[in-house]
Amino acid sequence: MKLLRFGEKGNEKPGILDADGHIRDLSSIVQDINGQVLSHSLDQIREADLSSLPKAPENVRLGACVANIGKFICIGLNYSDHAAETGAEVPAEPVIFNKWTSAVVGPNDDVEIPRNSVKTDWEVELGVVIGKSGRYISKEDAMDHVAGYCVINDVSERAFQLEGTGTWDKGKGNDTFGPTGPWLVTKDEIENPHNLNLWLEVDGHRYQNGNTSTMIFDIPVIVSYLSQFMSLQAGDVISTGTPPGVGLGQKPPVYLKAGQTMRLGIDGLGEQQQKVIAAE
């Protein structure tokens, strides 16, 4: 299933993409696409007669595909070829940081360059959505806790992230820095999440062109590892790292400017497109 949320910001409705590519309104079946639904209502959605559900308006805005994300956890330097381009050593264990949930926006919403930013960057990433809560999860059981996958643009301000004092978090969680979606694709539709092409373009120039096969730590390892330090709840989102081709890795580095357009996607998970604007 390809689950989604559509409508004006703050008033999104739950939806699903039918076999013909039409968005169907799930409001009569579930209240939203959130942790409660992911842990208890997926079978109910599967059994629904989609043809009987109302269609959403054409060209309707898409919201983030998961509502009320509890934790937005990210893994840094998780692609061997990306670590090489940034000059970083391959980490011995997953590098963890957070995006604040106030960063979450729809897949095609504008991305703001923050005030005083000079190094806003892009990162296409595979998002893993938790569908079953747990802690101290074994690697063997980890995939039982996964509801599905989505596209994430881990927008990053490198000066905020890497210069001065503090942690990566202050360069990762600015408003609009977490486009999520267009869809949450349930895991049964993705044969192998560790062999997906992912890419990103800025103004039509392809900067990132990678594959999840070069991830250092795979999804079971990541889920199990995180669960040793925190409980994972249904509706949490894990962004699993980016392949090479980020602006920081260009020679010389290239960063986003207001007026540019980012387009990105992952095999089977859809595409995003964001206009870059200056924060007011």
pLDDT tens digits for range 79-89: 987 777 777 78
Q: In angstroms, rounded to a whole number, what is the distance separating the alpha carbons of residues 193 and 126?
A: 9
72-76 and 237-239 as β-strands: parallel, antiparallel, unpaired? parallel
How many whole angstroms from its chain centre is CA 255? 20
Model pTM score: 0.96
Least confident range of 112-121, 153-162, 163-172, 257-266: 163-172
The angle at the Cα of 139, spanning 226 to 180, to the nearest 5 degrees, equals 50
Mean pLDDT calculated for residue range 43-71 = 97
Task: Please state, in angstroms and rounded to a whole number, the distance separating the CA atoms of residues 132 and 193.
Answer: 18
Task: Please choose, from the candidates 152, 174, 118, the residue with its C-alpha nearest in 3D space to the C-alpha of residue 265.
Answer: 152
Residues 6+ apart with CB under 8 A from 228: 135, 136
Rounded Cα distance, 263 and 67, in Å: 23
Both structure tokens of 151: 């596209």
Q: How far from each other are the two terminal CA atoms of the chain, in whole angstroms?
A: 38
Residue with tokens 């990541």, as numbered in its chain: 222
Which tokens is 78 given?
A: 């998780």
* CB 121 within 8 Å of CB 248: yes
Q: Which of 27-36, 114-123, 157-166, 260-269 has the lowest mean pLDDT?
A: 157-166
Closest CA to 107 of 157, 154, 62, 173: 62
**pLDDT single digits (tens) 131-164:** 999 999 999 999 999 999 999 999 999 999 999 8
The mean pLDDT of 57-68, rounded to a whole number, is 97
Domains of the chain, start order: 2-52 (no CATH), 72-278 (3.90.850.10)
The overall average pLDDT reported for the chain is 96
Residue 173, pLDDT score:
96
